[in-house]
Amino acid sequence: MDFPILTTMMLVPLVGAILSLFVQAAAARRIALAATLVTFGLGVLLWINYEIGGAQWQFQERYELFAGFSYALGIDGISLLLIMLSVFLMPICILASWEAITKRVGEYMAAFLFMEVLMIGTFAAQDIFLFYIFFEAGLIPMYLIIGVWGGDNRIYASYKFFLYTLLGSVVMLVAMFWMVAQAGSSDIPTLMQYPFPPEAQFWLFLAFFASFAVKMPMWPVHTWLPDAHVQAPTAGSVILAGVLLKLGGYGFIRFSLPMFPDASADLAWVIFALSMIAVVYTSLVALVQHDMKKLIAYSSVAHMALVTAGLFAFNVQGIEGAMMIMLGHGLVSGALFLCVGVIYDRLHTREIDRYGGLSINMPYYALFFLLFTMASIGLPGTSNFIGEFLALAGIYQASSWVALICTTGIILGAGYMLYLYRRVAFGDQKNPDAAAMGDITPREWAMMAPIAAVVLWMGVYPESFLAPMRADIAALDAQIAASAPAGDADLVAGEPRAQSANAIEYDAHSAEGAH
Amino acid sequence: MDPILIIVFAPLIASIIAGLGNRMLGDLAAKSITTGALFLAAALSWPIFIGFLNGSESAHVVPVLKWVQSGDMTFDWALRVDALTAIMLVVINSVSALVHLYSWGYMEEDPDQPRFFAYLSLFTFAMLMLVTADNLVQMFFGWEGVGLASYLLIGFWFKKPSAGAAAIKAFVVNRVGDLGFMLGIFGTFLVFQTTSIPEILAASAGMSGSTIGFLGMRLPTMDILCFLLFIGAMGKSAQLGLHTWLPDAMEGPTPVSALIHAATMVTAGVFMVCRLSPMFEAAPTALMIVTIVGAATCFFAATIGTTQWDIKRVIAYSTCSQLGYMFFAAGVGAYGVAMFHLFTHAFFKALLFLGAGSVIHAMHHEQDMRYYGGLRKAIPVTFIAMLLGTLAITGLGVYHLGAGFAGFWSKDAILEAAFARGTTSSTIAFWAGVSAALLTSFYSWRLMFLTFWGKPRWIESEHIQHSVHKTPEEAGEDTTGGYHPHESPKSMLIPLIVLSIGAVLAGQVFAPSFIDGSAEAVNGAFFAGSIYFNENLIHALHGVPYWVKYSAFVVMVLGFVGAYIAYIAKPDIPAKFVATFGALHNFVFRKWYFDELYDAIFVKPAFWLGRQFWKLGDIGFIDRFGPNGIAAVVQRGSAAAKVIQSGYLYTYALIMLLGLIAAVTYVLL
């Protein structure tokens, strides 16, 4: 396709952002919704026209700018799916902010639309510096969304968010300069094939790791996330959990694994260790939370730990599983934050104990909340199961210990999520104001139903999502296979037993009761 | 269209319609659609089962949809129909259809009926997906699906805090088992490079000599795989250690207990072991563990059953115990016999639960047997049904007459198989099974005597007091309190009658097929390769000494006599026993303190650790020395910087001068 669709997908929200700065609140909302819907429509076109099994990089655009730096876009299947996730969630975010945001609406919508531009840019960038600009600039609108439209303690949260994520990225930029000087190109596909010397890989890996680990976020650099989520407005949380947390995982897939395979293999144990700690630690922390958003935020850290462990399992199932968790988690945790937002809009508290018995007065809300809760704990038939199952299957091939510890997440996850659901939706209606809340409105239906549909689609027929990235992940796997550490299974064949375990001799004549 | 598609998907569609339609649809429509779908499924299931019995059906797989392809790992949605599936189809759909019908009466006054019926049908769909699975992952889908439905149904009366707690407990304890199941699937994929059950079973024997690394140990491959999968089975089938959720699950409405926590879902573990029997036959150590766990559970649960007062809890522990029988039958290699007990147990245990539900219905929701008594004449149909169920579970039957109730055929075959197998673990299982049979007879008759015989003790019950608006003092001599229990409506009695027929005849009619494989010869023809069929063991089972064959009969009579003496002839004996052996009674009555133990070593520490990680780890350490620490350093630094950035010209001049001196010094030196 010659039509520069990727640029168009970025231009539409950009124009929308500029327009919404200059109009009244009501108009700004409409402009934002229209712009995100058009972008989503373009995304669907992008997906339809994406040729599965075709060239690795499609829809490429390239304009040389200066000093080797170029405006280069292009996507593979991995980017395609993450772009789809972003443009799918955006209109829902606008809807979620429709009534909740009343001050500086134009600026708010502009911030969201601008963020959409940057997210698409991050996933589509083919020049490493272009990537860096999009990647880092994404912080600014998020920082503003938390800092301006956030809760009571928004300044602390936005500062923490910014400090963490920015500090992590500075060293990455230095590493990028070195890499471009070494390889003589800032083109990402070229860099992915460039054999960096193993001793340099170690430092480069650490430099990138500093940035991606914070974005992920991995234990112990995760503490910005709960604060950011708690203070962010609902839509901010949705985007934060749905898309921004995926930047770290995308970074690992796009940079760390293909560019530094040896260092990745050498340091896989570090990733495994941090992931195992995160699964257990943050799940237990989630168990004792009183604030709904904090609980879901901590659960995100636990889920993202499965992503990192899956990626560094060095096999197809691990990486595909990690991708599927990212997509599934993006939808499900986004939806869970919407669920929190729905009742927060009514009662203005995130305190779990202020609710109870919502199944009685909000049955459809309870149904959606149940579906997303079940998806979050990886019930088969939902999106997250596919991801968790594949990732854990991949991890098991790398190490049974890591698989065992990571799989405890399915027990702990069920514990904290069902405990949350019980306190919110089950029990008696102990608070009259909570009991008086009405069920979800058509606008809220429009937010929840599409996500619910996709969650089930991904769970029942994940082939739609696995197929586009299959070739890319197979290529990645082939590239890193040589460095892959050996698993601990080490199956040793032996002489099969002559008989079944319960084989017995039988003498018919000696039997007393035989007939 | 293959009928299996209708059998499996009709309940799903009905569930979606009833669940989403809910109040718009109305009670009657929701009930009719779901019940109709289930009767349709049941009607289509029996011909398949009979087809396998007479050899006209053959095993086949109906593909449905592609599911997952990731590298070498592929699994699809498909429905497998073979003899083993056919057994489960009739069990699930028959009991489910009857339970749907029963619920018309039992749930009549509930304001939330469409939701209830939607859950019931959803459960049935998930269970059918489990038993028709052709690969381990679809089995896991069904496994988790029934877990979800179980969670929803236990928590159906979600306003009750105890129901919410029981629902979570059921799900989370099952997840502990699922951890094993999942690791088992991962390991199986690693070893066999497939999740297809037929392919795994075909390759199992060849792997029996190999070893594999697991958690730093080197273990026989098949043993560790089967052991991991068996942990999953232990969770779902409430075996010792992972059984704690089942008694609490009685918080759900009684029809749910009958369908899910007696006849179908809890037998999924047994089904899994039988389905994978060729795999387990390559794993002698794992099979020994299956045998021991089954034997221990069958005895342990039966002891608790003798002390409980809640009628449903007695039956729940009985279920747990009977599942233990099925497991050790599988463990000694008599998979057909295990399936046979699963089959007969489904009828008589569903009957007992639905009967108990009918009693509870008649007694104004009272479940405590201490407040029953003398109900025999008030609710005669229920009484007869429960009596037949009790005769079936205690296994009344005489070997030389060749006649008996359902439990006689299947339980005795299990004991004979355990004896005939002749290993240490199987002999332990035999004796545990005989002891448990004694206890089974005792607690079953204790239940019957307390409920249906003796004088009414109704007025002591708060439920009855609410109903008749009297206190025990006001009632005086009349211990009925003037309460009149009513027999249940027809919708509840018809399922009782149908199941009674099953409880009486299921053993007699189907014993040749299940135990010997066919009526004529011992060749496993009925199972047609769907399970591992141990022909020699079946011969040996028939050839055990007569004392073995009569042992179950003897202990059944002893249990009956014991219960008769304790609860009819000399009713003061139980109190005296409790007074004399207080510690022992307390230990058993408190369910061997499993709940207290788990609470102390898992639940409380998890919350404590969570708080420590949060308050000390995140806030006290990471934040303190991380972002807040950096902020503090910056603040202190800026405070220092403030001193020199005073705004006075002379300070700047001074600093400039000092800097200049330093620079010049540096250059010159």
Kindly report, residue by residue over A187-207, the tens digit of the pLDDT. Answer: 899 999 888 898 889 999 999
Q: For residue A303, what pLDDT is reported? A: 94
What's the domain count of chain A? 1
Residue B96 in tokens? 């489910």
Classify residue A314 as left (phi > 0), alpha (psi -120 to 50) or beta: left
Query: Of all residues in chain A, what percent carry a pLDDT higher than 90?
Result: 60
In this complex, the residue of A397, A466, A501 whose CB is nearest that of residue B70 is A466
Q: For residue B256, what pLDDT is reported? A: 94
What's the mean pLDDT when you consider all of chain B? 89
Tell me which chain A residue has its CA closest to the CA of residue B21: A364
Q: For residue A508, what pLDDT is reported? A: 63
Q: By the CB < 8 Å criterion, does A52 face chain B?
A: no
Q: For residue A491, what pLDDT is reported? A: 86
Asked if residue B543 has pLDDT above 90, the reply is: no
Residue where the block lists tokens 């889920």: A303
Task: Kindly list the residues from chain A whose CB atom is less than 8 angstroms away from the CB atom of residue B64.
Answer: none
Q: Which of residues 565-624 of B touch A (CB under 8 A)?
A: 606-607, 609-611, 613-614, 617-618, 622-623
Q: Do B215 and A511 touch (CB under 8 A)?
A: no
- Top pLDDT among B382 and A53 is at B382
Residue B61 in tokens? 């797989």
A167: pLDDT confidence band, cut at 50, 70 and 90? Answer: confident
Kindly report, residue by residue over A456-492, the tens digit of the pLDDT. Answer: 999 999 999 999 999 999 999 998 888 888 888 888 8
Torsion sign, CA atoms B433, B437, B443, B444 = positive
Task: Kindly list the residues from chain B whose CB atom is less than 8 angstroms away from the CB atom of residue A220.
Answer: 622, 626
| Residue span of the structural domain in which A36 resides | 5-514
CA distances from B532 to B277, B293, B331, B340, B612 (A): 5, 21, 12, 14, 51
Helix axes A383-398, A316-347, angle to 10 degrees: 140
Residues in contact with B359: Cβ distance below 8 Å, sequence separation at least 6, in sequence order: B311, B372, B375, B379, B382, B386, B451
Residue A256 in tokens? 């760390």
Amino acid at B152: L
Kindly report, residue by residue over B269-304, the tens digit of the pLDDT. Answer: 999 999 999 999 999 999 999 999 999 999 999 999
Q: Do B182 and A407 touch (CB under 8 A)?
A: yes
Q: What angle do CA B401, B403, B406 make, to 5 degrees?
A: 155
Global pTM value:
0.92
A160: pLDDT confidence band, cut at 50, 70 and 90? Answer: confident
Task: Kindly list the residues from chain B whose CB atom is less than 8 angstroms away from the CB atom of residue A415.
Answer: 168, 172, 606
Q: By the CB < 8 Å criterion, does A415 face chain B?
A: yes
B54: pLDDT confidence band, cut at 50, 70 and 90? Answer: confident
d(CA B293, CA B297): 6
Q: For residue B669, what pLDDT is reported? A: 65
CB of B96 closer than 8 Å to CB of B165:
no
Q: By the CB < 8 Å criterion, does A509 face chain B?
A: no
For B65, phi then psi, to 5°, come to -160, 150
Please spell the DSSP secondary structure of B429-460, one letter per residue.
Answer: HHHHHHHHHHHHHHHHHHHHHHHHSS---GGG
Q: Could you tell me which of B185, B284, B298, B184 has the C-alpha nearest to residue B238?
A: B298
Q: By the CB < 8 Å criterion, does A2 face chain B?
A: no
Residues in contact with A162: Cβ distance below 8 Å, sequence separation at least 6, in sequence order: A139, A143
Q: What is the mean pLDDT of residues A77-87?
A: 95
Q: For residue A375, what pLDDT is reported? A: 95
Task: Kindly list the residues from chain B whose CB atom is less than 8 angstroms away from the CB atom of residue A164.
Answer: 627
Q: What is the mean pLDDT of residues A316-330?
A: 95
Residue where the block lists tokens 């471009």: A180
Q: If you ran DSSP here, which 8-state letter would residue A369 be given?
A: H
In this complex, the residue of A419, A495, A512 whose CB is nearest that of residue B545 is A512
E strand or H helix that includes residue B486: none
Q: What is the mean pLDDT of residues B194-198?
A: 94
Q: For residue B646, what pLDDT is reported? A: 65
Q: For residue A62, what pLDDT is reported? A: 86
Residues in contact with B669: Cβ distance below 8 Å, sequence separation at least 6, in sequence order: none
A481-498 in b/e form (b: 16+ CB < 10 A) is eebbeebbbeeeeeeebe
Q: By the CB < 8 Å criterion, does B215 face chain A?
A: yes
d(CA B182, CA B192): 15
Q: Do A418 and B542 touch (CB under 8 A)?
A: no
Q: For residue B476, what pLDDT is reported? A: 75
Bridge-based pairing state of the strands B73-81 and B60-70: antiparallel
Query: Of all residues in chain A, what percent carry a pLDDT higher than 70?
Result: 97
Asked if residue A447 has pLDDT above 80, the reply is: yes
B17: pLDDT confidence band, cut at 50, 70 and 90? Answer: very high
Q: If you ran DSSP here, which 8-state letter would residue B21 be given?
A: H
For B76, phi then psi, to 5°, come to -120, 165
- Locate the DSSP E strands across B1-123: 60-70, 73-81
B518: pLDDT confidence band, cut at 50, 70 and 90? Answer: low
Asked if residue B218 has pLDDT above 50, the reply is: yes
Bridge-based pairing state of the strands B60-70 and A69-75: unpaired
Asked if residue B519 has pLDDT above 50, the reply is: no
Q: For residue A509, what pLDDT is reported? A: 61
Task: Kindly list the residues from chain B whose CB atom is less than 8 angstroms away from the CB atom of residue A316.
Answer: 70-73
Question: Number of residue pairs across A and B with CB atoms under 8 Å?
Answer: 258
Kindly report, residue by residue over A356-403, the tens digit of the pLDDT. Answer: 889 888 989 999 999 999 999 999 999 999 999 999 999 999 999 999
CB of B151 closer than 8 Å to CB of B171:
yes
CB of A425 closer than 8 Å to CB of A359:
yes
Task: Kindly list the residues from chain B whose CB atom is less than 8 angstroms away from the CB atom of residue A226.
Answer: 618
Tell me which chain B residue has its CA closest to the CA of residue A386: B68
Greatest mean pLDDT among A259-268, B35-44, B478-487 lies in B35-44
A512: pLDDT confidence band, cut at 50, 70 and 90? Answer: low
